Amino acid sequence: MRLNTIQFLTNSSYMMSIIFIPLFAESLGATYFEIGVISAIFGATSLISSFIFGKAADIHRLKSVIVLGLLVSAITFFLQVFAYDPLSLAIARGFAGFSVGMYPAALIAYVHYQKRSIGKFSSFGALGWMIGFLLAALIGNIIYLFALSSLFYCFALVSALRMKDIERPIIHVTYFSIATFTSNIGTYLSFFVRHSGAVAVWTIFPLYLTSLGASKFWIGVIYAINPAVQFFVMRRLDGYGNERLIVWGHLLSVVAFASYIVVPNYLFVIPGMIIVACSWSFLYVGSNQLLVERNIDKATAAGLLNSMIGGAGVTGALIGGILSQFYGFVAVLIGASILSMVSVVIFTVFDRPKTQ
């Protein structure tokens, strides 16, 4: 129950403020390109910390890595309250991005060693997303949301301190080895390409919804649909082939992002949000399960997947910022659909089962 609580609280914290970052940055005077850069900095620091702490979790005690990550997150998320211009917001988001990359790999490894369902555990993250989005819709003020997200991390930290240490195999890994990455290149690279397209969309999506007539309340509600569907889908993925889940996740992403192109107003994006929820559920659960089952260094493998999320946060944010700045919102949606199609090809061609 403590694991599910931590997963729920951390994902609520992460999402309750991220939804309005583009609007907040714009209010501070940032251009669309600068909004993309701010999101890219968050992704870059997350990539770095995910790589470092994924390996650290295989070398050191899982509980220690989780506790440290939650403590740092509680501090850095509160520091965002003091952002007053695009530069200070970029710096604050950089620290926040580093902190959120510290603990997820250790949590996934902890779940695996406890022989629990990764799908059911991940579903509580989706539930946290939903509550985070709904709180954002109800509260609206991003300064209050920054403070509340820090408080949620404090609650998660209290739960983590009460976790027990677990016995696990002694694993010898080096910080600079990329063997795990190269042996699973199909999974990592396809995930990175698809998620780059997704991040490009989410970077500008609140602005796109605003242009379609949505209020902050409706933006929060529409965003909440995605994780609400994820919560129910992720809990029912045990027993399905991981490779099949990944392929269908990529294909559904193509359909979801393309569906946003032709909507007459913000209510018509709802079917696409349901589809993208299914696509992410398949991709995230299938990829995590595939990696922890194939590799001895479980936390390293999961951490590298989180690094792909961080790396996509860089490339996707820049793609979204540049395309929207020079070609408009529709160009971003088309680009995301194309990248999702490319990701299917990459996984099909490069995925080769290898067990270390």
**pLDDT tens per residue across span 96-144:** 999 998 888 888 888 878 777 778 888 888 888 888 888 888 887 888 9
pLDDT digits (tens, 9 = 90+) for 228-277: 898 889 888 877 788 899 999 999 999 999 999 988 888 999 999 999 99
Query: Rounded to an integer, what distance in angstroms lies between the CA atom of residue 244 and that of residue 26?
Result: 40
Separation in Å, CA 12 to CA 15, 59, 126, 200: 5, 29, 9, 21
What CATH number does the domain located at 2-161+183-350 have?
A: 1.20.1250.20
For 283, the token pair is 């991709």
Instruction: Compute how many other C-beta atoms are within 10 angstroms of the C-beta atom of residue 162.
Output: 9
DSSP notation for 23-73: HHHHHTT--HHHHHHHHHHHHHHHHHHHHHHHHHHHHS-HHHHHHHHHHHH
Residue pair 129/64 in contact (Cβ under 8 Å)? The answer is: no
pTM of the predicted model, to two decimals?
A: 0.80
Instruction: Answer whether residue 10 shows pLDDT above 70.
Output: yes
pLDDT digits (tens, 9 = 90+) for 205-228: 888 898 888 887 888 788 888 888
For 23, the token pair is 């609007």
